[in-house]
A = this chain, B = another copy of it.
Amino acid sequence: MSRERKRFRLALLIIGVESTLMEKPYLRQISKPLLKNPIFVQGLPGFGNVGKIAVYLMTKFCGAKPFVQLYSPSFPDYVSVSSKGICRLPRYEFYSANTEKNDFIIMTGDTQPSFDDVLAHYELCGETLDFVQKQGCSFIITLGGVPLREEKAQVYVAATSPRLALEFMEKGAVIYSKGRIVGATGLTLGLAKERGLEGICLLGPTTGFRADRGAGFSVFKFLMKALGNEVKEGL
């Protein structure tokens, strides 16, 4: 039976039909927005959920709409259940936004792969970049938290080039020079650089023990201002 199944699979592959098994991350397209040289902004769950919160505020501010979902067999094996009892798999979501200044692809997610599955992290960050490059992105912004106890709400920046680090320092960020940026926040930017793309990482200091709305708001506000969109405090 094993043989037959394998030969069946091979045959299917050759004639161009594939099994429905989810063996790799895959994308489900919901709609096809018009995007012109969009900037990619990523904020995933992590330290103090700073990146996820900042990106959530940005989707609201820009009126962004989800257009692609990414599923992966490296995500945890659960379903989330809504208050009405409806279940769905964990996923990443890509939103599109057209603002006066820029078009954006904004990405967030329910979860990340297990911290010790580094191959999955490389794979998912790579899939993400493959996708956004096909959409025309060449500038990558990742948002996250960094576990630091600080009195003043700083925003830190790391970049793919000295010119960019300088540019965002002039806009008010502090150069991040503490050694490492762990997880997807760092890895997506590192892989982007390897592909010849440019980009920055903005980090909000947080104690990281709970969801840090203040740090998320600071990062969001700084980014919007740096890109020319003033955020009013009353948002």
Residues of A within 8 A of B (CB-CB), count: 81
Alpha-carbon gap, A123 to B195, bound state (A): 23
Contact digits for A81-102, partner B, Cβ 8 Å, 1 yes 0 no: 1111111110000000000000
Alpha-carbon gap, A178 to B194, bound state (A): 42
CB < 8 Å neighbour of A78 from B77, B82, B180? B180
A207–chain B nearest beta-carbon distance, Å: 20
Set of chain B residues within 8 Å of A71, measured between Cβ atoms: 194
Q: Which A residues lie at the B interface, using CB under 8 A?
A: 1-3, 5-7, 10, 13, 16-24, 26-29, 71, 73-89, 113-114, 116-119, 121-123, 125-127, 129-130, 133, 157-162, 165, 169, 175-184, 186-187, 189-191, 193-195, 201
Query: What are 16 A-to-B residue pairs whose CB atoms are below 8 Å?
Result: A6-B18, A19-B130, A20-B133, A22-B122, A22-B126, A75-B118, A77-B183, A77-B184, A78-B180, A78-B182, A79-B180, A80-B180, A81-B181, A85-B169, A86-B159, A86-B165
